[in-house]
Structure 1
Amino acid sequence: MNIVNLISKACDTKDEAAREIVTILNEGNLAIPFLSYQCKLEISNTKSHETLFRGTSFCTKGVDYYMKLICKNYLEETIGPTIKKIVKQHKDCEIDPSKLLNDSGEYISNAEEVPEENIENLKEYSRSILDSIFENSTQFPVELEELFSNIQDYAIEQFPDFYDIRYSSVSAFIFLRLFSPAILNPQLFGLIDENLKTREVRTLTLISKFVQQTANLVEYNNSKEPYMSVLNDLIKEYIPYIKKYIDLITRIHHKTIIKPKKIFFGMFKKKANDNDKVDIQCDLAKRFSSLHRIINRNLDNIKKEVNRNNNREEKKAFNELKIIIEKLNDKAVILSNNSIDDKNI
């Protein structure tokens, strides 16, 4: 795992590296301990609870990708039906006065002129989204239960004086980095196939904003997007449910639910058995090849990171990594030469 941690810290393309590393480790049931460790490092290096997981790092990219990897069915069961209903019903949910016209064809001047029907439409869909999430909490992927339980424990230990850190540390991922983006762009998450019309795009944008704000456990103030304050009563109503939901999805009694496999590197293709919640086919050979290219490209960066830290374990891991890469490079040259010879015959 030391080698993987080195790669994660020094790679130049966090998206690509996170995708390949997490996919490979997931095949050996090692993604949870790896991501837990990455989150623990990030938490320990975060000075303020208000900025925890707010930036883009290898840690957040890794968890983002892992959630997308295993949560497609869960998203379809929770927010999928309401999103499909929004697309089908085509209701107007606009509540921003600057985007609404009056009978004279002029933009309305204040929030009091926003049609009550629009507000109620938006509230109806927002309720439906959150209600479905809460009602399906028992279907939450067990892998993420363990990961988020670990994250919550680390955050509480790092920021013991801030009670709500037990909620914000988890909502930073499940709501702000999964539900809200999936609501905002359901096509990207495979929830719908059709292209969205302008009205539906705007409706989903408003709902995504509402979900994010509610997950932040604070109401809207009048200084930023004041028109959204009409949803404050709904936010106030749902904050306790957000907390209860997070309590439920992090309440596990035994850690290491997902047992690591002793051998998996020889299995270039694998399908989860019927008892698993995750059903993924993965071409490991392709993933390892991609990771090989990433490491080759970043070997000097990794070396600089090791020298900077001057850590014995990291130096040992780097030497092991270098030997592996040199052998793979030699193998690649041999295969390339054989391929050229075959073409010349």
Structure 2
Amino acid sequence: TIFPLVAEGVTGEKVSVGPPFFERVNFPIGLVLLALAGIGPIIAWRRATKRNLQKNFSIPIGVMLLVAASLWMAGARHGLALVTWSVCAFVLTIIATEFWKGTQARARIEGEGYAVALFHLVTRNRRRWGGYIVHVGIVMIYFAFAGAAYNVDQRQHMLPGDQMEITSPFGHTYTLTYEGLSVSLGKGQRNLLWQAIATVSVEQDGVAKGILTTEKRQYVTSDQLMTEVGIRQTVREDLYLILSAMDDVDGALSANSAAQGIDLQVLVKPFVAWIWYGGLILALGTVIALWPSVDRRRNRNRPELEAVTTPATAMAGAAR
């Protein structure tokens, strides 16, 4: 944010920055932080020898390269997304390897089953393993952010009965049929002046997926129109319908069937749900890391017990 001021002070020319600038600046920083989420925890203090580095990083780097090659062959050509997903695979491989090594070692030493060993592994060192779970949540969020490179944005003017087709980044086709516009006067209810609702039926590869509505509202207390977005959410992607504009608001308000034309904006955004999943995993890891262990609670309560028992012990000794 201070770059325009510095550049203007040096060159004497005003410089404006927008999303492309911040993407170029923040992407390398974010990518380094993501990689460090995997690298940092497994570099032993004062034991970062060449042999240890090769041992710890050979498999994660191999998986990263394999994922990058697989994504490329699958048609992923956006450089930023390709690099981000590859680094996500690198970090996840490191975390999974650490969990596997710890679980396997505990199962062998204690003679426990793998599920029990994993549970005890996490509960006996909550800070370490809770931190790893936090990193998993961060990786999921990065994975979702990279999907924005494949967002689809399409607009079309539509009359009732018109259809619009939009292709998802995953290859399937949405067919949207505009059913019509219903307008109602608010009559002062909830300070609503009027409300216009566009109804759109949704098909995916010829299979009906239901009805979505998108609307505009105007309230008595505001001159600005409020837009309600129609959303269809799945694990892979979200479909958004936005009522951008109406041809004839006054005609629509008077129930004129000829005044039903609208401008419809359609967005398809991959992996949006994974932001929420990642946030939940991050929160879970935070709770695990901050949850006090049994030994710590015992140590914290021990001074109180000593304070209670010491006078009683002294009285017993005096009585003797």
What TM-score results when the alignment is normalised by the length of structure 1?
Answer: 0.24
Q: Which has the higher strand share?
A: 2
Greater length-normalized contact order (CA 8 Å, ≥ 6 residues apart) = 1
Answer with 1 or 2: which has the greater Rg: 2
* Structure with higher helix content: 1
Q: TM-score, normalised by structure 2?
A: 0.25
